[in-house]
Chains A and B, each alone.
Chain A
């Protein structure tokens, strides 16, 4: 199989092209020698099997960010048959140097000028034939977003791919660095030469829409209120649409379980029956039911990001974030964390400075992710009316934000940073429906694969703890979970968390997705409404609020811990992150619970 690496700067539509070429067959691949995962997909061209690898965006092959180092290590450890160098056709005045660097490495390369649609919109004229001749590499101009020119690219691929028999060799790292250093002094002049030979830039900037929108959206006074207003509206819309779908789906799954699976399972022993129905099926149902909200979230986040608004948010928030020892990118990542903390923590790779990365990783887990939201929506509906419930959820978002600010203020001295911040502000773009749906779909798929095993094992473990030792009354004080609850009582009783809720919290450490499923198992109620009544009969509103506060602030899930460990490469830092969130959760709940009791609320 031939390997094709897709390489390019950020904001060149590299991933769009990758998706366009491979459809939805992309999957996460683990590469030998690299500790991180890369997106890859197989593609068949005239019966020849090709493997495409999407490398992370980079500015410079000699750069120092983690992503840039990663790309160098990839090129050194993998024998690639072809490098697809993706450039933004509008910005050849600074991006051609990347193609020159790849050429200097002696790797077989094909240059793709993407965003042909924007080049035309902005009046950039390119003679690809001239560029091809002057550069000495094949050049194809296309628009991945609108699918124009893809056939041309495939045709060029057929021509340029080395014969299947030729096995390429990977250059050694020292060789790689020597070649890049040698070409460095000529890059500037060569780039200017190529520009003169093949590109005419417009006499003046023609993007009037971006100018006009920026005047409003980046307004010193209006900018931030508009951004937060837009975010609030977006979250409202997601829940208004997603929650009914979620409830409907949960109902359907429950019906299938009761009327289809239960009769099928009746011949099995009672213990196994309970295990399969209350353990496994319920666990799976819980995750499946909230996939719609997650899909909507990623869809909306995708629109905000691809439209160019997200980088404006970084601009608007940077002055504030700088005073917290962070920067605009940390803000954007924390915002992404509201969907799922795991990709947000992976996203800190764009930061080169260690201190900045660590402190960003420390605040991201406080972002109220969709898994936690699921618990809060349920608890709020159980204990409060719709209006009050909305306020409680809003309050939790506020606390999530405050916890992040407090954490940054407390730890900025320990993780000082001098990281420069230089970010592109791309022109505003209208994302296409296809682009958004592909993206949301791949995120949901990723999430499903990622969380499934944790949730299944988690719910099964809760069920076993409740039903072991054999013959015990489920979830009674004699069961394993009852004993665990009693064990934790001295610590959790002062913050109002009952032994039943403690067990749910212990499993919430694995993943917040298990909390609801766990509660359903603990209280022996599958139907959400009946579960709500059972919980409301067992704990007070004040206890429920304390439980929500604790759920918000303590460790999000083992996946987050695992990814913090793998990205920080420090066990001590990982322990600090877990310890600090547990401490903050306990102290906040203690102050809240005991304070409310002192004020006479019970």
Chain B
């Protein structure tokens, strides 16, 4: 069995399905409002240099989020 991955580790161009979001309540709510909810496919479009933010697409929305915050998004293996 593969270990659970995080959105922060997803390479550029790859798509995966969100399994769960494990963050404090307010970040959870914000991520969900942006569309990062369990069961949703998410694609990484680009990863900023110098540990910069990720540019991802989920549903019909494109957004940027920091790697630290992307670690809270657990992907289905």
Name A residues whose Cβ lies closer than 8 Å to a Cβ of B.
9, 59-60, 62-64, 90-94, 97, 122, 124, 188, 201, 205, 210, 214, 218, 220, 311, 314-316, 318-320, 322, 327-328, 352, 420-427
**Cross-interface CB contact of B49 among A220, A422, A425, cutoff 8 Å:** A220
14 sampled A-B residue pairs with Cβ under 8 A? A59-B34, A60-B32, A63-B30, A64-B26, A91-B59, A91-B61, A93-B59, A97-B33, A205-B57, A214-B55, A311-B64, A319-B52, A421-B53, A422-B69
**B27 and A420: CB pair below 8 A?**
yes
Known A-B contacts A59-B34, A318-B48, A319-B48; the reply to A424 vs B63 at CB < 8 A is yes
**A218 and B55: CB pair below 8 A?**
yes
Expressed in whole angstroms, the Cα–Cα distance for A9 and B26 within the complex equals 16
Residues of B within 8 A of A201 (CB): 59-60
Residues of B within 8 A of A425 (CB): 55, 62-64
B24-77 residues at the A interface, CB under 8 angstroms? 26-27, 29-35, 37, 45-46, 48-53, 55, 57, 59-66, 68-69
Name B residues whose Cβ lies closer than 8 Å to a Cβ of A.
23, 26-27, 29-35, 37, 45-46, 48-53, 55, 57, 59-66, 68-69
Expressed in whole angstroms, the Cα–Cα distance for A97 and B33 within the complex equals 8
Expressed in whole angstroms, the Cα–Cα distance for A94 and B30 within the complex equals 11
Expressed in whole angstroms, the Cα–Cα distance for A344 and B67 within the complex equals 27
**A319 and B64: CB pair below 8 A?**
no
Expressed in whole angstroms, the Cα–Cα distance for A287 and B23 within the complex equals 50
Known A-B contacts A91-B59, A124-B60, A322-B66; the reply to A424 vs B37 at CB < 8 A is no
CB closest chain-A residue, reference B35: A94
Expressed in whole angstroms, the Cα–Cα distance for A322 and B35 within the complex equals 24
In the assembled complex, the CB of B54 is this many whole angstroms from the nearest CB of chain A, namely 10
**Cross-interface CB contact of A420 among B33, B37, B52, B65, cutoff 8 Å:** B65
Known A-B contacts A318-B53, A422-B63, A423-B63; the reply to A93 vs B35 at CB < 8 A is yes
Expressed in whole angstroms, the Cα–Cα distance for A90 and B45 within the complex equals 19
Residues of A within 8 A of B65 (CB): 420-423
Expressed in whole angstroms, the Cα–Cα distance for A205 and B31 within the complex equals 21
CB closest chain-B residue, reference A202: B60
In the assembled complex, the CB of B9 is this many whole angstroms from the nearest CB of chain A, namely 18
Instruction: Given contact pairs A97-B33, A218-B55, enumerate 7 new A-B contacts (beta carbons under 8 Å).
Output: A59-B29, A91-B60, A93-B35, A188-B37, A319-B48, A421-B65, A425-B62
Known A-B contacts A59-B33, A420-B65; the reply to A94 vs B53 at CB < 8 A is no
Residues of A within 8 A of B57 (CB): 205
In the assembled complex, the CB of A285 is this many whole angstroms from the nearest CB of chain B, namely 45
**A94 and B34: CB pair below 8 A?**
yes
Residues of A within 8 A of B69 (CB): 420-422
CB closest chain-B residue, reference A191: B37
Residues of A within 8 A of B49 (CB): 220, 319
* 5 nearest CB pairs, A to B: A319-B52, A59-B33, A94-B35, A420-B69, A93-B59
Residues of B within 8 A of A62 (CB): 29
Expressed in whole angstroms, the Cα–Cα distance for A64 and B31 within the complex equals 13
Residues of A within 8 A of B32 (CB): 60
Residues of A within 8 A of B26 (CB): 63-64, 352
In the assembled complex, the CB of A422 is this many whole angstroms from the nearest CB of chain B, namely 5
In the assembled complex, the CB of A99 is this many whole angstroms from the nearest CB of chain B, namely 13
In the assembled complex, the CB of B26 is this many whole angstroms from the nearest CB of chain A, namely 4
Expressed in whole angstroms, the Cα–Cα distance for A94 and B48 within the complex equals 25
Expressed in whole angstroms, the Cα–Cα distance for A422 and B57 within the complex equals 12
CB closest chain-A residue, reference B26: A64
In the assembled complex, the CB of A215 is this many whole angstroms from the nearest CB of chain B, namely 9
Residues of A within 8 A of B34 (CB): 59, 94, 422, 424
Expressed in whole angstroms, the Cα–Cα distance for A124 and B26 within the complex equals 30
CB closest chain-A residue, reference B61: A91
CB closest chain-A residue, reference B43: A205
Residues of A within 8 A of B52 (CB): 315, 318-319
Most B CB within 10 A of own CB, among A122, A205, A422, A427:
A422
CB closest chain-B residue, reference A95: B33
Residues of B within 8 A of A63 (CB): 26, 29-30, 33
**Cross-interface CB contact of B60 among A64, A90, A421, cutoff 8 Å:** A90
CB closest chain-B residue, reference A63: B29
Expressed in whole angstroms, the Cα–Cα distance for A381 and B30 within the complex equals 50
**B29 and A315: CB pair below 8 A?**
no
Known A-B contacts A91-B61, A93-B60, A124-B60; the reply to A318 vs B66 at CB < 8 A is yes
Expressed in whole angstroms, the Cα–Cα distance for A421 and B67 within the complex equals 9
Residues of B within 8 A of A322 (CB): 66
Residues of B within 8 A of A59 (CB): 29-30, 33-34
In the assembled complex, the CB of B60 is this many whole angstroms from the nearest CB of chain A, namely 5
CB closest chain-B residue, reference A205: B57
Residues of B within 8 A of A311 (CB): 64
**Cross-interface CB contact of B61 among A97, A210, A315, A424, cutoff 8 Å:** A424
Residues of B within 8 A of A319 (CB): 48-53
Most A CB within 10 A of own CB, among B27, B30, B35:
B30
Expressed in whole angstroms, the Cα–Cα distance for A314 and B33 within the complex equals 20
CB closest chain-B residue, reference A327: B66
In the assembled complex, the CB of B72 is this many whole angstroms from the nearest CB of chain A, namely 8
Expressed in whole angstroms, the Cα–Cα distance for A422 and B23 within the complex equals 13
**Cross-interface CB contact of A421 among B33, B50, B59, B64, cutoff 8 Å:** B64
In the assembled complex, the CB of B53 is this many whole angstroms from the nearest CB of chain A, namely 5
Most A CB within 10 A of own CB, among B26, B60, B66:
B60
Expressed in whole angstroms, the Cα–Cα distance for A91 and B33 within the complex equals 11
Most B CB within 10 A of own CB, among A97, A319, A352:
A319
**B59 and A60: CB pair below 8 A?**
no
Expressed in whole angstroms, the Cα–Cα distance for A519 and B60 within the complex equals 56
In the assembled complex, the CB of B11 is this many whole angstroms from the nearest CB of chain A, namely 15
Expressed in whole angstroms, the Cα–Cα distance for A427 and B63 within the complex equals 10
